[in-house]
């Protein structure tokens, strides 16, 4: 069982790539979210920090002590901003698990299974209504929910969808005629989140 009032701060320990994706997903989830209308750090401000970190992260891929230091310096204020918003979400009266997940944060789990969660597989993608894709995922033992990220060809996260079931995850609000890349992860267990699945691309109709 999950303590829905305990927002996970595990994102601070993510590797740079996963942390970057997590921060971008949080911005998407919090923008216009009716459950969280007055976050401590506004989505646009978190987004600005994430853009700075992303640029420093990409530059540091070329190596070099100075570039790595700049990347680490850009990461620090982004972690701080996310921690402030995590506290804001956790303090929201009447918080439910679905509300928590809609913020892009994860919930700490009291599940004591020692093994790391397996990553789900994206079994198939199909077109739903116009501007909508439907992802079919494999289920993962000890997962209490699943998260699917939708990215454009240049790697920008445009949607982060949370679902309590894996069979059919609806991905709405997409642009017909655009090819998107999807990745999924499982949430729950002792580690909080699995690795991301292999990316799968599909054109939205």
Q: How many CA atoms lie within 13 A of 5 on its CB side?
A: 4
Domain assignment of residue 138, given as a range: 111-203
The ranges of the chain with pLDDT < 50 are 1-4, 112-114
Q: What is the pLDDT of residue 8?
A: 87
Per-residue pLDDT reduced to its tens digit, 71-113: 999 999 999 999 999 999 999 999 988 889 899 998 876 554 4
What is the domain count for the chain? 2
Burial class of residue 68 (count of CB atoms within 10 Å of its CB; 0-12, 13-18, 19+): middle
- Boundary-marking domain end, from 49, 74, 107: 107
> Using an 8 Å Cβ cutoff, are 187 and 140 in contact?
no
The domain that contains 180 carries what CATH number?
2.60.40.10
First to last CA, the chain: 39
Q: What is the pLDDT of residue 110?
A: 53
Same domain, 174 and 83: no
Q: What is the pLDDT of residue 113?
A: 47
Q: What is the pLDDT of residue 142?
A: 81
Same domain, 88 and 125: no
Q: What is the pLDDT of residue 190?
A: 58
Q: What is the pLDDT of residue 188?
A: 78
């Amino acid at each position: 069982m999950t303590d829905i009032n305990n927002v996970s701060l595990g994102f601070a320990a993510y590797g740079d790539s996963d942390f970057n994706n997590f921060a971008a997903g949080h911005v998407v989830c919090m923008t216009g979210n009716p459950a969280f209308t007055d976050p401590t750090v506004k989505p646009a401000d978190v987004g600005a920090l994430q853009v700075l970190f992303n640029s420093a992260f990409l530059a540091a891929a070329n190596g070099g002590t100075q570039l790595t230091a700049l990347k680490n310096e850009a990461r620090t204020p982004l972690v701080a901003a996310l921690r402030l918003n995590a506290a804001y979400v956790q303090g929201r009266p009447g918080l439910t698990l679905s509300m928590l997940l809609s913020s892009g944060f994860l919930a700490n789990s009291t599940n004591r299974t020692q093994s790391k969660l397996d990553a789900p597989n994206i079994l198939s993608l199909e077109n739903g209504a116009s501007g909508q894709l439907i992802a079919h995922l494999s289920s993962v033992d000890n997962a209490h929910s699943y998260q699917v990220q939708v990215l454009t060809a240049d790697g920008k996260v445009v949607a982060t969808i949370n679902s309590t079931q894996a069979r059919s995850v609806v991905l709405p609000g997409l642009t017909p005629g655009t090819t998107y890349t999807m990745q999924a992860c499982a949430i729950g267990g002792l580690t909080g989140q699995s690795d991301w699945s292999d990316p799968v691309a599909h054109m939205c109709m």
